[in-house]
Chain A
Amino acid sequence: MLKTGTERVKRGMAEMQKGGVIMDVINAEQARIAEEAGAVAVMALERVPSDIRAAGGVARMADPTIVEEVLNAVSIPVMAKARIGHIVEARVLEAMGVDYIDESEVLTPADEVFHLLKSDYTVPFVCGARDLGEASRRIGEGASMLRTKGEPGTGNIVEAVRHMRMIQGQIRKVVAMSEDELMTEAKNLGAPFEVLLQIKKAGKLPVVNFAAGGIATPADAALMMQLGADGVFVGSGIFKSENPEKFARAIVEATTHYQDYKLIAELSKGLGTPMKGIEISTLAQGERMQERGW
């Protein structure tokens, strides 16, 4: 008996990405640079988040030509983004053979009430979360991997740090609770009881949790690993920097050796200018991508 799309196969795929860096790319050439630099996967996009921010308007699934180009260019896994709740974008990406779908707040949501029922798909999904309630709801819907939302396209790590600390703290709290307190905690967090019970028993999330949204330097990547991330997504940070190739390699190494500070010092030398970055308080409420998702 051969079974595809099982929970173990979908979650397992993310397990294999641990300790690695997933990079946003917009064409085959960038995908090859990312693979060569040691990325564990690439995210195929039409525009990186900082350009989506600059362009404004409605951001949708990438043109399938770009996704196809990237799929053909590299041997590492290829991810792509679908709009929150957009069943058809997700099915199209699945049909194209994409290895992982990001149901992403970086794109303009297609549904303001419901997320995708991700357990229905053969392809695995990654979703963003700011706290344990959101993380548990996504797991309940069938997400096989999580990431912090951070604030995409800002080059500012502060929101990713907030989200990672929040989730780790809430996990510690759940683990320390007695079982008869869990239902009320589930109510308070808006989390499925079963997921909290699993977290309590295992002492950790049942899926891999990466950091994303604002990572701009090797030290940022190492910081997120130290706060408990299983790996990192770098969006605009690499190909918006002065020397993407060097930057990509440095971020990969800093993620592996996140506690080797001498090495990170070496890696950080002469990298050129990182992406410029945005102070979060200057963003209007409507410009904050992390508010998308429910």
Chain B
Amino acid sequence: MLKIGVLALQGAVQEHVKAIEASGAQAVAVKRVEELEDLDGLVMPGGESTAMRRLIDKYQFLEPLKEFATNKPVFGTCAGLILMAKRIQGQDTAHLELIDMTVERNAFGRQVDSFEADLMIHGVGEDFTGVFIRAPFIVEVGPEVEILSKHNDRIVAAKQGHFLCAAFHPELTDDYRLHQFFVKMVQANKEVVA
């Protein structure tokens, strides 16, 4: 069975664990660097990206995560998407710099502007409820990046090679299609590596 980790430094970890398990893979919460070792893929959950980054630095997770990402699939939602971006608007530095894109934090406004909207996600399906909570969006993407979904002309989901990201929270719904999509990516990657 595929084993997929959920980075568990802070944020909505259990919801991802549930969604991964419902998508037919084994899920484990990852709090320590050693726990990355035997994983086939990793989810970076929603939460507060500044708080997560501080804990990533404190426990020397940055390099091991980058190393993990060289040949294993990673899926980031909301704060996880911010951690994966190469560029963050208004900031000189980014975090893991995995996906060739520029993102803007809290781009839809404050919590009172948080919303739900129906999305069309390429390769995943229609009528997907996107739950956007103080969400970022993707301002621009490089040539290697495939845009999977837009909301009002703003990019809210994308894929580059074995990396997947969403500005919204699929883990807060009972719709597991995007997690199933990621599990398939992990499966395909494992077959290639093997």
Contact = CB atoms under 8 A, between A and B. Distances in A.
Contact of B51 (A5, A39, A124): A39
Interface in B10-31: 10-15, 31
A16 B114 contact: no
B57 to A, nearest CB: 10
A183 interface: no
B12 A16 contact: yes
Given A2-B116, A3-B115, A256-B10, A16 B46 contact: yes
Given A18-B13, A256-B10, A76 B51 contact: yes
Interface string B53-90: 01100100000000000000000001100000000000
A38 B51 CA distance: 4
Contacts of A35: 50
Interface in A10-34: 10, 12-13, 15-20
Interface in B130-184: 131-134, 169, 172-173
Contacts of A123: 111-112
A122 interface: yes
B112 A122 contact: yes
B35 interface: no
A100 B173 CA distance: 22
A40 interface: yes
B106 interface: yes
A8 B172 contact: yes
A5 B117 CA distance: 12
B1 to A, nearest CB: 25
Nearest to A39: B51
A100 B51 contact: no
A70 B54 CA distance: 20
Nearest to A11: B172
A99 interface: yes
A19 B46 CA distance: 12
Given A18-B10, A19-B11, A256-B31, A75 B79 contact: no
Contacts of A253: 55, 58
Q: Which size class do A's interface residues fall under?
A: 35 or more
Nearest to A5: B112
B150 to A, nearest CB: 14
A171 to B, nearest CB: 16
A40 B15 contact: no
B55 A16 contact: no
Nearest to B114: A9
A4 B115 contact: yes
Given A16-B12, A17-B48, A76-B50, A2 B117 contact: yes
Contacts of B48: 16-17, 20, 40-41, 76-77
B111 A13 contact: yes
A31 B134 CA distance: 19
Contacts of B109: 97
Interface string A233-258: 00000000000000000001100110
Q: Which one of A6, A36, A94 has the highest number of Cβ atoms from chain B below 10 Å of its Cβ?
A: A6
Contacts of B8: 19
A75 B116 CA distance: 22
A99 B134 contact: yes
B93 to A, nearest CB: 14
Interface string B32-55: 000000000000001110110011
A35 B50 CA distance: 7
A211 B58 CA distance: 24
A88 interface: no
Given A9-B131, A20-B10, A100 B50 contact: no
A41 B50 CA distance: 10
A18 B50 contact: no
14 contacts: A1-B117, A1-B118, A2-B115, A2-B116, A9-B132, A12-B12, A15-B46, A16-B78, A19-B11, A40-B51, A76-B51, A123-B111, A252-B51, A252-B54
Interface of A: 1-6, 8-10, 12-13, 15-20, 35-41, 75-77, 94, 97-100, 122-124, 252-253, 256-257
> Which 3 A-B pairs rank lowest in CB-CB distance, beginning with the nearest?
A99-B111, A38-B54, A40-B48
Interface of B: 8-15, 31, 46-48, 50-51, 54-55, 58, 78-79, 105-106, 109-118, 131-134, 169, 172-173
